Structure 1
Amino acid sequence: MRPTPTFTLCLIGVVLVGLSTALAAASAVDVSYQHPEKFRDASLRSSGYERGADAFVMKALDVHLQELGSRYLPAGQTLHIDILDIDLAGRYEPWHGNAYNVRFMRDITWPSIKLHYELKQDGKTVASQDQQVNDMFYLQRPGRSMHSSDRLYAEKAMLDDWFRQRFGAQRASATH
Structure 2
Amino acid sequence: MKQSIIYLVSALALFGQFNHAQAAEVEVKWSNSDKYSDMDAGEEHRKHFKTRTFTAFEEHFAKLAASLPDNQKLVFDVTNVDLAGDVNFGGNRRVRVVKSIFFPRLDFSYQLLNADNTVAKSAEISLKDMGFLTHTGIRYRNKSLSYEKEMLDDWFKKTFASEVIK
The TM tier, using the shorter chain, reads 0.7 to 0.9
The 8 Å contact of residues 68 and 163 in structure 1, kept in 2 or not, is answered as: yes
Sequence identity percentage: 26
The separation in 1 between residues aligned to 2:161 and 2:43, in whole angstroms, is 35
TM-score, reference length from structure 1: 0.78
Structure 2 unpaired stretches of 5+: none
The 8 Å contact of residues 91 and 105 in structure 1, kept in 2 or not, is answered as: yes
Q: How far does residue 10 in structure 1 lie from its aligned partner after superposition?
A: 4.0
Task: Select which of 136, 143, 146 maps to 1:142.
Answer: 136
The separation in 1 between residues aligned to 2:161 and 2:133, in whole angstroms, is 24
In the other structure, the counterpart of 2:153 is: 160
Report whether the alignment pairs 1:73 with 2:71: no
Q: How far does residue 58 in structure 1 lie from its aligned partner after superposition?
A: 1.0
Call closer, same or farther: CA 1:80–1:46 in 2, change over 3 Å. farther
Report whether the alignment pairs 1:128 with 2:122: yes
Deviations 1:78-108 (A, max 9, x none): 10001000000011222x424x332111111
Which structure's CA Rg is the greater one? 1
Deviations 1:137-172 (A, max 9, x none): 110001127961x23111111112112221243124
TM-score, reference length from structure 2: 0.82
Report whether the alignment pairs 1:33 with 2:26: no
In the other structure, the counterpart of 1:62 is: 58
Coordinate RMSD, CA, aligned: 2.8
